[in-house]
Amino acid sequence: MISLPYNSPEEEIHHPLFSEKNIRVYLKRDDLIHPFISGNKWRKLKYLLQKANLANKNHLVTFGGVWSNHLIATACAAAKSGLKSTGIVRGEPINTDSLALCRLFGMKLIFADRERYRDKQRLFNLYFQDDPDALFINEGGYSEEAAKGCAELVEELDQDYDHIFCACGTGATAAGIINGLRQQHSSSCLHAITVLKGDFLKDEIDRLLLAPSDFSFHSDYHFGGYAKTTPALINFIADFASHTGILIDPVYTGKMMFALFDIARKDLFLPGSKILAIHTGGLFGLLGMKDKF
């Protein structure tokens, strides 16, 4: 079974805004965990791989879009673990840089149009009902196992933070961190930044909580919806990269950092606050939008 190679560092980042507002901002560099099983994806897959192992399933079947970081991570993790993998991909057949990586890692790809893609269990049954080796892994790895792996991030922290920021696609990572904070009796406030339009992710986070817990849910930073951007977001990402030497992407971490900066500008952090942002990795999303930079 694969295991996390090391604890990712917490790196302080500097920006004139942070000095002006007298706050300190750190990035948990989960993007450095692995180039392909990047960021939260390693944490999310850890216990799903253990589940596959215990159930003697040697074929991971999962779901994602044509730029899905989760598909790349699953393909690579399966290859490392000696397992087969299949990705059921939303949309018409197309090749993207991300899907090319999936294929390189030996993942078989099946395309399903948006209508069919909606019912994932049905698709799984359609293709793999008779395959006793196949393990269903939900889109983005959303599961109790994923949340359990993400909770472990909290045990690694070197210091206490007043606020922790995390981008949400399925909500499993945010839920795991909230569970971890509770287990560690931490009083840090978790800020979940949804990258999708609407409030439904709040319920998806709640569903994976081990006990009802408060957190701060921000639904104003989706920039039009999943994988949608605006010139302001693109400029922000370029400004951030040129000030820090760290890349963030327009789909997830760019929106999360934008939220952090916006909240700082509005003076909603007390002076002296310590803030941690989780760099959940997933930089291949940038390749899908390289023309914008």
Q: Check binding of 173 to ligand PLP (CB under 6 A).
A: yes
- Could you tell me which stretch among 83-91, 168-176, 206-214, 262-270 binds ligand PLP (CB under 6 A)? 168-176
Nearest alpha-carbon partner for 190 in 282, 266, 260: 260
Q: Check binding of 70 to ligand PLP (CB under 6 A).
A: yes
Q: Could you tell me if 214 and 183 are in contact, meaning their C-beta atoms sit under 8 angstroms apart?
A: no
Of 65, 149, 254, 281, the one binding ligand PLP (CB under 6 A) is 281
Give least dist CB 56 to ligand PLP, A.
27
Which residues ranging from 209 to 238 are in contact with ligand PLP (CB under 6 A)?
A: none
Q: Where are the alpha helices (DSSP H) in 129-171?
A: 144-155
Of 62, 69, 74, 98, the one binding ligand PLP (CB under 6 A) is 69
Which residues ranging from 3 to 42 are in contact with ligand PLP (CB under 6 A)?
A: 39-40
- Could you tell me which stretch among 17-25, 105-113, 166-174, 221-229 binds ligand PLP (CB under 6 A)? 166-174
Of 172, 178, 208, 233, the one binding ligand PLP (CB under 6 A) is 172
Quote the radius of gyration of the chain (alpha carbons, Å): 19
Question: Structure tokens of 212?
Answer: 């009802």
CA–CA gap between residue 120 and residue 125 (Å, rounded): 9
Of 112, 280, 286, 288, the one binding ligand PLP (CB under 6 A) is 280
Contact characters 113-152, ligand PLP, x per CB under 6 A = ---------------------------x------------
Give least dist CB 113 to ligand PLP, A.
23
Q: Check binding of 168 to ligand PLP (CB under 6 A).
A: yes
Strand order in the sheet with 108-112: 108-112, 84-90, 59-64, 134-136
CA–CA gap between residue 154 and residue 132 (Å, rounded): 36
Q: How many other CB atoms are there within 10 angstroms of residue 242's CB atom?
A: 8
Q: Could you tell me if 171 and 197 are in contact, meaning their C-beta atoms sit under 8 angstroms apart?
A: no
- Could you tell me which stretch among 12-20, 89-97, 127-135, 169-177 binds ligand PLP (CB under 6 A)? 169-177
Give least dist CB 239 to ligand PLP, A.
19
Q: Could you tell me if 27 and 277 are in contact, meaning their C-beta atoms sit under 8 angstroms apart?
A: yes
Between 52 and 192, CB nearer to ligand PLP: 192
CA–CA gap between residue 39 and residue 193 (Å, rounded): 16
Of 47, 253, 260, 276, the one binding ligand PLP (CB under 6 A) is 253
Tracing tokens 């979940």 back to the chain, one arrives at 192
How long a stretch of residues is the chain?
A: 293
Report the phi/psi class of residue 230: left, alpha or beta, with left for phi > 0 and alpha for psi in -120 to 50.
beta
Q: Check binding of 102 to ligand PLP (CB under 6 A).
A: no
Q: Which residues bind ligand PLP (CB under 6 A)?
A: 39-40, 69-70, 140, 167-173, 252-253, 280-282
